[in-house]
Amino acid sequence: MTSEHLHSVCPHDCPSVCALEVERRANGTVGRVRGAAQPYTDGVICAKVARYAERVHHPARLTQPLRRVGPKGSGQFEPLSWDAALDFLAEKFTLAVEEHGPETVWPYHYAGTMGLVQRGAIRRLGHQAGWSRQVETFCIALSDAGWMAGVGKKTGIDPREVMHSDLIVIWGGNPVHTQINFMHWVQAARRERKVPLVVVDPYRTATAEKADLHLALKPGTDAALACAVMHVLLKEGWVDRDFLAQHTDFSAEVEAHLATRTPAWAADITGLTVDEILRFAQLYGQTKKSYLRAGYGFTRQRNGAAAMHAVTCLPAMTGAWQSLGGGALYSNGGLYALNTQFLFGLDTTPRLARQLDMGRIGAVLARNPDDLQGGPPVTAMLIQSTNPAVVAPDSLAVRQGLLREDVFVCVHEQFMTDTAKLADLVLPATTFLEHSDLYQASGHTFLQASKALIAPIGEARSNHVFIGQLAQRLGLSHPAFAMTEEALIQQILQASKKPDAEHLHAEKWLDCAPAFDDAHFLNGFGHADKRFHFSPDWSKIGAGHAVMPRMPDHMTVIDEPTEACPFKLVAAPARHFLNTTFTETPSSVRGQKRPTALIHPQACATLSIDEGDLVRLGNALGSVLLHAKPFAGMLPATIVVESQWPNDAFIEGIGINALVDASPGFPAAGVAYHDTAVWLRKERA
């Protein structure tokens, strides 16, 4: 059978946003997916997307609209036509708004697809309808806050510069799982130039396995480590005084403060030895060509923003920003400067509705007055491109909320997820191979676009198409609703003064990397005074600024282990899943095996736990039953569960986020996914 190889872009929520070459067979199905020759992707993609044919043609794809016929959560649905489904949905939303006002509707969406057109539609609909808005706290709230406090601009050093580095530090991220392309560049640098690698992570991840130095600290203590490293840099004279004076707000006060943050002080907080801290400080202090890749993982703590800020102080101390191969990258999200006013329906300046914290969905649905901010209860939800029944914290409360008889829930999905199972109306969605879109990337510098390559599976409709049709039924008239996806891509590019869509499709990718001096902040950091801030103005970052440290420091606001809950749980991402996406594909499930608690051999010995035993992890919120595996690469009080498995994959149908508390991090918001003290016991089979 003949086949073609066509350009596409991976839409999933991953910093790599890989350029793809997709095999389309003569019968219109998808074959192999490979990495394209885009300079960052460099032909490399992860195994789960290489086998995308398994997902796109999966027999369990949703192919028709479904209306609930049994009790809520029963899984009993009957098919109906799209027209009937849209009428039903419009009627339900209209009734809810008549009773409670527009803020009773909560369009709940996240990054199942990162494509701008497919993400933009639901925002535009909500803005135009005056529905509740949301604060997006799942992923980047804490990390953004910490990065912006010091650097002031959400860009960083091109990851390909690791080829020129003398030291690579991966801090609180696990790119072997979460961003394979970065690891590909790191490994190339190590092969060609023997560049040493330091990994800071509470457990020996597949990334840490490759490191010359792995610092397995207690979760939530990264700022203490960063401060102690700065202490040593100052003490040993491994700092760039000229850079500090010219490009930062470094002061005698900061220096005096860091003089108290000794390695012994940090050893006590982090669980590392003084020796380990000194070794790292020496490696970092003796070169300017150090590339620091700041992950998201270490910011998923209540003190995560302060931790990110402290870590970003390191390249400012040594002046690493000035060198090719030096500096740091957290995200290039601020690089593309796309004008999304029209896309988001904000060009008509709609009335500002209340903003609900998406991480607090359980509390919002339970009508907690603080969360409702004086507004009406949420009685209607449109959930798109996210799976909150699994991914949101306090998941038992989320489930209860979604099952309320007085809340109407519509889910637009590719699969019958845990969230879709709880819905009143389920609508089938296309995958990225069935629709067109425009993509920026946090992990590299390329703007990319892709076109639909195959016909929609069954009756699936894209976010953009479905939302446009719903808008029409609701009588909303923004011109973007009636535009094609292609026309909207063109509109965004034009409004952003970029080359037009035809050019982008022909070129496949557009490198938006700034010139060296701009990328390295040598013409100024992002703040008005153009300096990096060791003493940030947290009041510009978030309402809870009063508790933030005035200078880089460890904040004692984390969920500390106690006698009742002596372990600290890290609910880290799994290699073969992407959040909960791919939990339906056979090869991913085979690769990931089953939900497993990694437990230190010392704790296993105390509780007589052997590999494969059933253990229960719990805290005040609930408990979770799963299998155990002894694992030595961490401190004895750390427990790691790589997830996110569907709730049903756990023995009692209760997933790991049942244990994660929804109280936000500081200073503004952000879910602390890896900040959970738990108890552990062995369970009889």
Ligand X SMILES: Nc1nc2c(c(=O)[nH]1)N[C@H]1C(S)=C(S)[C@@H](COP(=O)(O)OP(=O)(O)OC[C@H]3O[C@@H](n4cnc5c(=O)[nH]c(N)nc54)[C@H](O)[C@@H]3O)O[C@H]1N2
Cα–Cα distance list, 303 to 277, 451, 480, 673 (Å): 21, 41, 40, 12
The residue behind tokens 């060609």 is: 192
- Give me the least distance between CB of 519 and ligand X, in Å please: 21
> Concatenated DSSP letters for 548-592?
S-SSS---S-S----SSS-EEEE-PBPSS-BTTBTTTSHHHHHHH
Residue 608 one-letter amino acid: S
Closest among 562, 538, 540 to 550, alpha carbons compared: 538
Q: Is 139 in the site for ligand X (CB under 6 A)?
A: yes
As a whole number of Å, the CA-based R_g of the chain is 25
What is the spatial distance between Cα 216 and Cα 639, in angstroms, rounded to a whole number? 12
Three-state DSSP at 207 gives coil
- Give me the least distance between CB of 494 and ligand X, in Å please: 24
Q: Is 300 in the site for ligand X (CB under 6 A)?
A: yes
CB 312 within 8 A of CB 294: yes
- Give me the least distance between CB of 185 and Mo ion, in Å please: 21
Q: Which of 22, 30, 36, 46 binds ligand SF4 (CB under 6 A)?
A: 46
Q: Which of 41, 287, 579, 592 binds ligand X (CB under 6 A)?
A: 579
What is the distance, to the nearest Å, from the Cα of residue 9 to the centroid of all Cα atoms in its chain?
Answer: 18
Considering beta carbons, is residue 463 or 588 the nearer one to ligand SF4?
588
HSE-up (13 A, CA, CB side) for residue 49 = 30
Greatest alpha-carbon pair distance for the chain in Å reads 72
DSSP state, residue 248: B
**Polymer length of the chain:** 685
Choose one: 11-19, 93-101, 269-277, 659-667; the region binding ligand SF4 (CB under 6 A).
Answer: 11-19
Q: Convert residues 6-45 into a mask of x (bound to ligand X by CB under 6 A) and - (unbound).
A: -------xx-------------------------------
Considering beta carbons, is residue 344 or 446 the nearer one to ligand SF4?
446
- Give me the least distance between CB of 296 and Mo ion, in Å please: 6
Considering beta carbons, is residue 222 or 642 the nearer one to ligand SF4?
642
Please, which of residues 479-498 interact with Mo ion by CB under 5 A?
none
Q: Which of 180, 381, 391, 641 binds ligand SF4 (CB under 6 A)?
A: 180
What is the spatial distance between Cα 678 and Cα 673, in angstroms, rounded to a whole number? 13
Q: Convert residues 414-433 into a mask of x (bound to ligand SF4 by CB under 6 A) and - (unbound).
A: --------------------
HSE-up (13 A, CA, CB side) for residue 503 = 10
Q: CB under 8 Å to 457, separation ≥6 — which residues? A: 56, 57, 61, 63, 428, 430, 431, 434
Residue 642 one-letter amino acid: E
Closest among 289, 46, 18, 308 to 175, alpha carbons compared: 46
HSE-up (13 A, CA, CB side) for residue 677 = 12
- Give me the least distance between CB of 158 and ligand SF4, in Å please: 17
- Give me the least distance between CB of 674 and Mo ion, in Å please: 12
From Mo ion, ligand SF4, ligand X, none, interface partner of 301 (C-beta below 5 to 8 A by class) = ligand X
Three-state DSSP at 452 gives coil
- Give me the least distance between CB of 217 and ligand X, in Å please: 6
Please, which of residues 454-513 interact with ligand SF4 by CB under 6 A?
none
Phi, psi of 306 (to 5 degrees): -65, -35
Q: CB under 8 Å to 178, separation ≥6 — which residues? A: 14, 15, 295, 573
Considering beta carbons, is residue 271 or 295 the nearer one to Mo ion?
295
Considering beta carbons, is residue 318 or 657 the nearer one to Mo ion?
657
Q: Convert residues 550-589 into a mask of x (bound to ligand SF4 by CB under 6 A) and - (unbound).
A: ----------------------------x-----------
From ligand SF4, ligand X, Mo ion, none, interface partner of 575 (C-beta below 5 to 8 A by class) = ligand X
Considering beta carbons, is residue 14 or 407 the nearer one to ligand SF4?
14
Choose one: 42-50, 185-193, 260-268, 392-400; the region binding ligand SF4 (CB under 6 A).
Answer: 42-50
Binding residues for ligand X, rule: CB under 6 A, are 13-14, 110-113, 118, 138-139, 171-174, 177-179, 200-203, 205, 219-220, 222, 295-298, 300-301, 384-387, 391, 412-415, 417, 429, 463, 570-575, 577-581, 643-644, 656-657, 660, 673-674
Binding residues for ligand SF4, rule: CB under 6 A, are 10, 12, 14, 16-18, 45-46, 49, 180-181, 578
